[in-house]
Amino acid sequence: MTETLLFDAALIALILGVTVWTLAVRDTIAAVIGFVVWGLLIAFAWVRLAAVDIALTEVAIGSGVTGMLLLRAGAQARKFDAPVKPVNRTTSIIAGALCGVVFVVLAAVVLLATGPGPTLAPQVAESLPLTGLGNPVTAVLLAYRAFDTLLEKVVLMLALLGVWSVAADRAWGRPPELWTASRRDGVLRFFAQVLAPVGIVFAIYTFWAGADVPGGAFQASAVLAAIWLIVVMAGLARLPATGSPALRLSLVAGAAIFLVVGIAGVHIAGAFLAYPPDFAKALIIAIEAGMVWSVAATLALLVAGPPQAGERR
C-alpha cells in the first residue's frame, strides 16, 4: 500500500515539476516539448485512476496530436519573434493570489468529500448487455450519450471550418502546407514506410478491441491521423486540396452515418438514436467505423492548418 502511495507521490511531483517548467521556460518550442512529456505523465495518472480509455485518449490526442499542432505553430510563430510586453507585477500578484484561492477551494472539496460519490455505474451495468458491448465507456459514448458524441463530430467539423476560414481568399480550396523532409532518402522516409502498415493495423485493432476492452474510435482515429501526417511529412504523399469533393465527403461521412442510423432508430426502435437490441452492436460498429475515418481526416487537417496559396517564399 505504501509503495503505491510512494509511486503516486513521485509521479505527482514529476507532473507538477514538468508543469512549472512548461510554464516558466523561455523558449516556446521547449515549452511545447515539455507539454508533450507532461501529457505522457498525465496518462500514467489516468492509469492510476483506473481510466485506461482516457489514458489512451490523452496520449494520442491530448499529448500527441495537440503537441504536433503546437510544434507547427511554435515553429511558424518564430518568424514573428517580436518581443511581447510582459504583464506588470501587480497583475501577477493578483493573479497568483486568485489562483491560490482556487487551489485551496478545490483541495478542500477533494479532502472534505466523504462517503461514496454520486454514480451512474449501476444504470450502466444494468443496460450494458442490451448494447452487446463489453467496454462500459464505449457503451456510454455510443449508446447512452450518443447525442453528445454526434454533436462532438459536428464540433470537430465546425473547428475545421473555422481553421479553413482564416485562410487568405486566394488560398481557399487549395491544400494546406505541412513541413516535409527535403531529403528523399532520409531516416524519416524509411521510418514512415515501416511505421505506416504497422500503425494502420494497430489503429484497426484499437478500434475493434474498443468494443470490449479499453480502446475505441477516438484513439484509433488519432493513431491514423498521426500515421497520415508522418507519411506526408516524409514526402511519400501529399495533402489533398481542401476543395476536393472526396475529402469533403470523408469529413462529413462519420456524422452522416451517425445521423442516418439515428433517424432510422425513430422508425425501427422508437426513438432518435435508439438501436434495436438485436443489431445494437453491429450498428454501433458501423457508426464507429465511419467515425474513425472522418475523425482521423479531421484531426490530421486540424493539425495541418488552413489552406495555403502555394507560392510561399
Residues in the chain: 313
As measured in angstroms, the least distance from the Cβ of 5 to other proteins is: 7
Residue from 30, 95, 198, 263 touching other proteins (CB under 8 A): that is 95
Please give the span between the terminal C-alpha atoms of the chain, in angstroms, as a whole number.
60
Select 81 or 278, whichever has its Cβ closest to other proteins: 81
Q: Kindly state whether residue 127 participates in binding other proteins, applying the rule CB under 8 A.
A: no
Residue from 17, 30, 96, 127 touching other proteins (CB under 8 A): that is 96
Which residues between 55 and 74 bind other proteins (CB under 8 A)?
57-58, 61-62, 65-66, 69-70, 73-74
DSSP SS3 for 37: helix
Select 65 or 283, whichever has its Cβ closest to other proteins: 65
Q: Kindly state whether residue 302 participates in binding other proteins, applying the rule CB under 8 A.
A: yes
| Contact code string over 225-244 relative to other proteins, x by CB under 8 A | --------------------
Q: Specify whether the CB–CB gap between 239 and 230 falls below 8 A.
A: no
Residue from 111, 182, 184, 278 touching other proteins (CB under 8 A): that is 111
Which residues between 248 and 287 bind other proteins (CB under 8 A)?
none
As measured in angstroms, the least distance from the Cβ of 60 to other proteins is: 9
The Cβ-side half-sphere exposure at 49, using a 13 Å CA radius, reads 13
Q: Which residues contact 224 (CB under 8 A, 6 or more apart)?
A: 199, 200, 203, 292, 296, 300
Nearest Cα to Cα of residue 292 among 250, 237, 244, 239: 250
Which residues between 133 and 152 bind other proteins (CB under 8 A)?
136-137, 139-141, 144-145, 148-149, 152
134 C-beta neighbours (distance < 10 Å), count: 15
Q: Kindly state whether residue 245 participates in binding other proteins, applying the rule CB under 8 A.
A: no
Rounded distance between C-alpha atoms, residue 208 and residue 27, angstroms = 41
Q: Give just the sign of the alpha carbon dihedral 84, 90, 93, 97.
A: negative
Select 96 or 276, whichever has its Cβ closest to other proteins: 96
- DSSP assignment string, 183-226: -TT-HHHHHHHHHHHHHHHHHHHHHHHTTTSS--HHHHHHHHHH
Q: Kindly state whether residue 22 participates in binding other proteins, applying the rule CB under 8 A.
A: yes
Single-letter code of the amino acid located at 219: Q
Q: Specify whether the CB–CB gap between 286 and 141 falls below 8 A.
A: no
Stretch that binds other proteins, among 157-165, 181-189, 237-245, 272-280 (CB under 8 A): 157-165
Q: Which residues contact 139 (CB under 8 A, 6 or more apart)?
A: 124, 127, 128, 131, 133
Stretch that binds other proteins, among 26-34, 177-185, 188-196, 277-285 (CB under 8 A): 26-34
As measured in angstroms, the least distance from the Cβ of 186 to other proteins is: 27
Q: Kindly state whether residue 172 participates in binding other proteins, applying the rule CB under 8 A.
A: no
How far does Cα 224 stand from its chain's mean position? Answer: 12
Q: Kindly state whether residue 45 participates in binding other proteins, applying the rule CB under 8 A.
A: yes
Q: Kindly state whether residue 39 participates in binding other proteins, applying the rule CB under 8 A.
A: yes
DSSP SS3 for 176: strand
Select 5 or 278, whichever has its Cβ closest to other proteins: 5
Q: Kindly state whether residue 122 participates in binding other proteins, applying the rule CB under 8 A.
A: yes
